[in-house]
A and B are shown apart, each in its own frame.
Chain A
Amino acid sequence: DTEVTQTPKHLVMGMTNKKSLKCEQHMGHRAMYWYKQKAKKPPELMFVYSYEKLSINESVPSRFSPECPNSSLLNLHLHALQPEDSALYLCASSQEDWGHGYTFGSGTRLTVV
């Protein structure tokens, strides 16, 4: 299995809703990432988990809450989002040997109404 699987593929949520994005990989990768990508922009790093511990938080608002329950699973909990948070949310993973490459999932297209 050489994939990063993200669910759901599309999500529409209201500003008062609570939802979660899920990411899964079974490649034994030690690091998992959340990126946010607005239309016609490059991906921007949000969070990094290394060996199941949060290692990087790029000053992301607290309405985004990451969770790494185990080495294969990464969640992003969403609460009280704003319309400007509408974007493509990409999950990625990478192996221990730095620079091997990052495997990205196909993303969740989030629309906040």
Chain B
Amino acid sequence: AQKVTQAQTEISVVEKEDVTLDCVYETRDTTYYLFWYKQPPSGELVFLIRRNSFDEQNEISGRYSWNFQKSTSSFNFTITASQVVDSAVYFCALSETHNTDKLIFGTGTRLQVFP
């Protein structure tokens, strides 16, 4: 069965620290997409990245980087030199071939960055 696990419920760091948010997924499909979304207190889900199952290249976007490892079914997200504006809930999500219209979300990780 499909599932996304974000074991870290809450993480607190001090500004400028690096932080990694973990995401482990389960799926029987060989073709799927993985996503990360940020949800600030305002409520909007902000798209950060998508990765398809055939592309295991790691990606870097500014202070954000993602590590996709099919061997361990993980898609981890690292924020380098965290800032107070990074404080939000971060969701990892999965979309499968046989049900492309359904996003399966993890339970989210609340990140608090203190000045």
Instruction: Give 1 or 0 for each of B4-41: 1 = CB within 8 Å of chain A CB.
Output: 00000000000000000000000000000101010000
* Minimum CB–CB distance for B41 against chain A, Å: 11
- Counted as pairs of residues, one from A and one from B, with CB atoms less than 8 Å apart, the total is 55
The segment from B57-65, B66-74, B80-88, B100-108 that touches chain A is B100-108
Which chain A residues (56-113) contact chain B, with CB distance < 8 Å?
A: 56, 88, 90, 92, 94, 98-107, 109
What band does the interface of chain B fall in when counting residues whose beta carbon is under 8 Å from A? 20 to 34
Which residues of the other chain, B, contact A109 by a CB distance below 8 angstroms? Answer: 43
Q: How far is the CA of A90 from the CA of B45 in the complex (A)?
A: 9
Which residues of the other chain, B, contact A92 by a CB distance below 8 angstroms? Answer: 45
Q: How far is the CA of A99 from the CA of B43 in the complex (A)?
A: 22
Q: How far is the CA of A99 from the CA of B102 in the complex (A)?
A: 11
* Minimum CB–CB distance for A17 against chain B, Å: 22
What band does the interface of chain A fall in when counting residues whose beta carbon is under 8 Å from B? 20 to 34
Q: Residue on A with the closest CB to B32?
A: A99
Contact at B95–A105, with CB atoms within 8 Å? no
Q: How far is the CA of A36 from the CA of B95 in the complex (A)?
A: 18
Given contact pairs A31-B101, A42-B108, A100 touches B91 in the complex (Cβ within 8 A): no
The residue that A102 contacts in the complex, of B42, B52, B103, B108, with Cβ under 8 A, is: B103
* Minimum CB–CB distance for A95 against chain B, Å: 11
Contact at B103–A45, with CB atoms within 8 Å? yes
**CB of A21 within 8 A of chain B?**
no
Contact at B91–A42, with CB atoms within 8 Å? yes
Which 5 A/B pairs are nearest by Cβ-Cβ distance? A42-B105, A104-B45, A99-B33, A106-B44, A98-B100
A-contacting residues of B (Cβ < 8 Å)?
33, 35, 37, 42-47, 50, 52, 91, 95, 100-103, 105-108
